[in-house]
Amino acid sequence: MSEPARAQDAVNEATPKTAWTGILLVSLTAAALHMATNGRYGFHRDELQFLSDARHLDWGFVAYPPMTPFLERILMSIFGLSLVGLRLFSVIAQTVVIIVSGLMARDLGGRPFAQVTTALAVALSPLPIFEATEFQYTSFAFLWWVLISWFTIRLLKTGNPRWWLPIGLALGLGLLTKYAIVFYIAGILVGMAFTPARKYFASKWFWAGVTIALLVFLPNLIWLFHHHFISYTFLQHIHTRDVGEGRAEGYFKYQFLVCANVFAAPVWLIGLYSFLRQRRLRMAAFTYIVPLLVFWINKGRFYYVAEAYPMLLAMGFVTSERWLTRIPRWSQFAIEPVFFAALFFAGGFFFAGWVPLASSGPLRDFAFKHSSDLREEVGWNDLVRTVSAIRDSMPADQRANAGILVGNYGEQGAIELLGPAYGLPAPISMTNSAWLRGYPTPQPTTLIVIGFSQKQANSEFTGCRLAGHNGNSLGVKNEESEYHPDIFLCGPPRLPWPDFWLSEQRFG
C-alpha cells in the first residue's frame, strides 16, 4: 500500500466525534423504541420453544444449535418471564449491528455523513427492525454475520492476517447459533479462491482462525454425532414444508423489498458493484453472492441472506458520498432530502407493521394486519386458562392421573412456562427436542389433547370428547385459533406408549 493510501486510511479510521454521536443516537433511539414496546402482547410461539429448551440446556437441540436457549436461560434467571427482559439480548444485538454498520462505512473510507447514514439505513431496514422485537436465533445470527463482515473488511483493508482470529471466533459463535452460517463460510472460501485473498490459505493465522471456529463449534458437533445428525433431518423436513407451502416464493423480489430498506436498494447495489470493482476488497462481494445463489438454487427463504446487506449498504453509502461531492451543491440539496424522506417513510411503515407500537386501536390493528408474527403472540394465556378450567372440571380421580398432550412447540412452551401458575403438569410433546426427552412415567390415564383435529384425536386416542375451544380474547386469527380450535378430553393412546411415541416424532 502506498504512503498516501496509508495516510488516507488512518484519517478514515479516526471516527470524528460528530460521526460517533450520530451513530450512537441512531442506535440508542432504535433500542429505546424497542425496549418501550417489547412488553406488549405476549410471547411468539418460537420464543416459547426457546424458553422451553432453555429449561433443558444441552449442547444441541433438534431445531437449532444451543446458543439461543443458553442466552435465554441467562435472561430467564435474571428477569423471569418478563417480555422486555427476555428480549433484551435481541435489542442489544441489533443495537450493535447498527453501530458496526457505521464502523464498516468508516473503515471503507466514509466520512461522517456516510457513517451515520449507513447506521440510519440499517436501523430503518425491515429485518433489523424485526430481529429486535423478538428473541429468535436469527436475531443473534444477524449479529455474528455482521461482525464477520466487519472483521473481513478490516482484514482486507489492513492486510493484517491476525484478523482471522476474531473472524474464526465469530464464525464459531455463528455455528453455535444458526447452521446456515456454513453458506457464509462457503462465500469466504470461494472469495478467497477467486481473488488475491487466496494468499491467506498459506497463512498460519488463517488456519488458527479455522481452529478457533472448530473448537468453539466442537461441543455441538459432538452432540450432533451422538444424535445421528438429527438436525439435518429436521432441516430437510422444514425445507420441504417451506417449499410446499410456497414460503420460498418471491426470493429475489424480497431482497429488494424486505432485506433492506426498499429505498436504499440502489445504494446496496452500488455497494456490491464497488466491492466487485476493487481488487483489494473483492473477496467481500463473494460472501454475499455465494450464499445468495446457493439459497436461490436450493429454494431457500428470502431472509436467509439479510445479514449481508449492512456491509453492502456501508460500501454503497461510502461510494455514493464520493459521487455526491462531484456534483453541484444544489443537486445534493435536491437529492438528499428526497432520499431521507423516502428512507424514513419506508422505515416508519415497517415499524408500524412489525413492532407492537400500540396495545389497542388502529395502530395495533395495522400491525396485526401486516405481521403474522405479532398475531402469533396472542392467545397463549387464554389457552392455559382454558386448559386449567378443563382440568378443574374433571372428577378428582381423573384429575389425579391426567396429562396434557400438545401438538406443537408453541402449545408446549405455553403449558410448560405459564401452566405452573395454574398448577398444571408439564406438557407431553412429540415435537423437536421434546420428543427426545420422552413421555412421563407413570403414563397418564386421561389426556387433555391440544393441537389435534377431531379426526386425528379419535384415531390416536381412546374415548375422546370435545372439552373446550382454543381461541383468544382479542379475536385475532392466528395458527391456534384457525387451525387448532378444539381441545379434547381423551383416554390413553390406542397404541402402547412406547409404540405411540416412536410413531409420533414431529418436526416443526
The predicted-structure confidence for 278-328, as pLDDT tens digits, reads as follows 999 999 999 999 999 999 999 999 999 999 999 999 999 999 999 888 878
**Quick one: 301 and 201 in the same domain?**
yes
**Quick one: 132 and 241 in the same domain?**
yes
Q: Which of 354, 388, 411 is the last residue of a domain?
A: 354
CB 71 within 8 A of CB 92: no
Please check whether residue 370 lies inside any domain of the structure.
no
pTM recorded for the entire structure: 0.94
For 434-452, letters b (16+ CB in 10 Å) and e give bbeeebeeebbebbbbbbb
Q: Which of 317, 339, 354 is the last residue of a domain?
A: 354
**Quick one: 390 and 284 in the same domain?**
no
CA distance 279 to 268: 18
Please check whether residue 363 lies inside any domain of the structure.
no
Please check whether residue 360 lies inside any domain of the structure.
no
**Quick one: 283 and 206 in the same domain?**
yes
Q: Torsion-angle region of residue 361: left (phi > 0), alpha (psi -120 to 50) or beta?
A: left
**Quick one: 38 and 131 in the same domain?**
yes
**Quick one: 407 and 461 in the same domain?**
yes
**Quick one: 75 and 214 in the same domain?**
yes
**Total domains in the fold of the chain:** 2
* Dihedral pair phi/psi, residue 382, rounded to 5°: -60, -40
**Quick one: 31 and 178 in the same domain?**
yes
**Quick one: 333 and 426 in the same domain?**
no
Please check whether residue 368 lies inside any domain of the structure.
no
Return all residues near 202 (Cβ < 8 A) that are at least 6 apart. Answer: none
The list of the chain residues with pLDDT below 70 reads 1-15
Residue 234: domain span: 3-354
Render 429-473 in DSSP notation, one character per residue: E-BTHHHHH---SSPPSEEEEES--HHHHHHHBSS-EEEEE---T
Q: What is the pLDDT of residue 342?
A: 96
Please check whether residue 176 lies inside any domain of the structure.
yes
Interval 74-97: pLDDT, tens: 999 999 999 999 999 999 999 999
Q: What is the pLDDT of residue 11?
A: 42
Q: What is the pLDDT of residue 15?
A: 61
CB 407 within 8 A of CB 435: no
Q: What is the pLDDT of residue 61?
A: 98
Please check whether residue 365 lies inside any domain of the structure.
no
Please check whether residue 282 lies inside any domain of the structure.
yes
Please check whether residue 371 lies inside any domain of the structure.
no
Q: Helix crossing, 88-107 with 112-123: angle to 10°?
A: 150
With a pLDDT cut of 90, the percent of the chain lying above it is: 92
* Dihedral pair phi/psi, residue 463, rounded to 5°: 60, 45
Q: What is the pLDDT of residue 4?
A: 38
Q: Which of 354, 369, 402 is the last residue of a domain?
A: 354
Q: What is the pLDDT of residue 304?
A: 96
**Quick one: 298 and 334 in the same domain?**
yes
Q: What is the pLDDT of residue 152?
A: 98
**Quick one: 204 and 344 in the same domain?**
yes
Interval 335-370: pLDDT, tens: 889 999 999 999 999 999 999 999 999 999 999 999
**Quick one: 168 and 297 in the same domain?**
yes
